[in-house]
Structure 1
Amino acid sequence: MTDKPKKPHHVYTLVVQVGRKPDDGLPEGATGAGLVCYASGVDEAEAVRETVAVLKQAGLAPLDVTGHGTADERRAAGHEIGTEESALMARALAENAVIVAQIEAFYGDDQDG
């Protein structure tokens, strides 16, 4: 029996914009939210697909996903990654999971910038 070697997983930092949906758990009056997620995947496309699926299962309405790369890619771009963020990334990798690290509700015209 020959097993195909597993491709290594990486953790990607994703920023997801969500809209409103009934019973989505967002605060009253919010027009949507921005979420910072850490997602495990063999590539960024898989991490995005998994994140969108998990958020839909949680009753949210993902509208847009922006990838910010792996921790190594972010460090190479000059980003500082603190110990708490590193711990969440390690957890996402260990559990092959999507971790929602931050949610910021949008009100009114917040989504426009």
Structure 2
Amino acid sequence: MARFNLKQIKLHVPEYGTDATIVVNEAHSSGMPHLETVYDKEPPHGHKSVAVAIPDDWTDQDLAELIFIKMQAHPTRNWPAWEIPAMDHGAFRLYRFWKGEQPPKD
């Protein structure tokens, strides 16, 4: 049975000047559901698609908050919120950084 109702979101990613499709892949080969993003144009980091594991305690609400959070401009980085765990902290799992949660120790 599916754990998440959120299946697909199409949106514009101003940080990269392109559109993207975000999906929840509950059948990821790792056994953990993943948030997967496919960009229409290759972003500066050179990966047209990115995927990150979704923690067991996350809900659709957590995913929606992450995807639609308004990030403040930062002088040394400019990526969307769902890439912050990996890009800022090398984390392979999402975490609620916007609520003060610390990066996972995996």
With the shorter chain as reference, the TM-score category is: under 0.3
Identify the structure with the greater strand proportion. 1
Task: Kindly indicate whether structure 1 or structure 2 has the higher relative contact order, using CA contacts under 8 Å at least 6 residues apart.
Answer: 1
Please say which structure displays the higher CA radius of gyration. 1
TM-score, normalised relative to structure 2: 0.26
TM-score, normalised relative to structure 1: 0.25
